Amino acid sequence: MPRIAYVNGSYVAHRDAAVHIEDRGYQFADGVYEVCEVARGFIVDMGRHLDRLNRSLTELSIDWPVHRRVLQIIIREVVQRNGVHDGLVYVQVTRGVASRDFLFPEDVASSLVVTARKGNPALADKRAATGIKVITVPETRWDRVDIKSVGLLPNVLAKQKAKDAGAQEAWFVDAEGMVKEGGSSNAWIITRDNVLVTRPAVHGILRGITRTTLFEVAEKLGLKVEERGFSVKEAKAAREAFISSATTISLSVVEIDGQPVADGKPGSIALSLRKALFDVAEKTPA
């Protein structure tokens, strides 16, 4: 089945999908995006993702390209047309197409692109069973990382550095040695007394949707959560560490900067969170 994309009002073959060269997303990274997990034929936490999309658009004064209800229909249609039962759907909104100028253009419609692709649940479960390695890197991003902007060059460089080091994720660390978040994920640790710890999503990190749902999962499992900062040193000494995102759910970190976390194997709590999330999350039939 050929892949299908939605671009500004049309469903087109993915290989032919294109935007204008003066789209401000291409020229200025003047746009935002969301990624929703598709699992077992359901779009996971779509309502929360669209709420966050609305916040990002509002912060950047970008208009919705279509009504929210219409976007929901488009998302489901793209997932269906691509036959995605397990995978992800990607939504991107930019300020639109205009002659290159730093100032906001007037009377220009925002641009909308929606794509979807299939995933491999068996491969994802295998990765969860082995865990991932993380390196730490200095914070180099702009101050408004709470906005899910398409301007991700520092993240790209950090994740490439991780790959070059034989790791799968990079954690940004502030000047005080405190972990902020990953290149494409939120960062967590579990203390020796089984408390889940993650940095407050007030400043300096993105308010992850999976992160938010995991709070509800933890409550269901009777686990305590603390929103506070934690250092690289504390993370290395933790009982468990893990990352969360729409594409990884809860994924154990077994090594940080070459040092094993605990016994260097995925932890039972992170695995239990992963297993329980689907039942707790909002599910929209695809």
Identified catalytic residue from 118, 126, 133, 148: 148
Residues forming a β-bridge with 90 = 35, 115
- Contacts with 95 (C-beta within 8 Å, 6 or more apart), sequence order: 24, 25, 30, 31, 60, 62, 104, 105, 108, 110, 111
CA distance to 217, 230, 242, per residue, from 195 (Å): 13, 12, 13
**Triad 121, 269, 171: Cα angle to 5°:** 75
DSSP 62: P
**Catalytic residue status for 126:** no
List the beta strands (DSSP E) in the chain. Answer: 4-7, 10-13, 31-39, 42-44, 87-94, 111-118, 132-138, 169-173, 179-182, 186-190, 195-198, 224-227, 240-245, 249-256, 259-260, 283-285
What Rg, from alpha-carbon coordinates, does the chain have? 19
Handedness of CA 56, 59, 60, 62 (dihedral sign): positive
**Residue 14, number of CB atoms within 10 A of its CB:** 14
List the beta strands (DSSP E) in 27-83. Answer: 31-39, 42-44
Distance from C-alpha of 183 to C-alpha of 120, rounded to nearest angstrom = 22
Catalytically annotated residues: 148
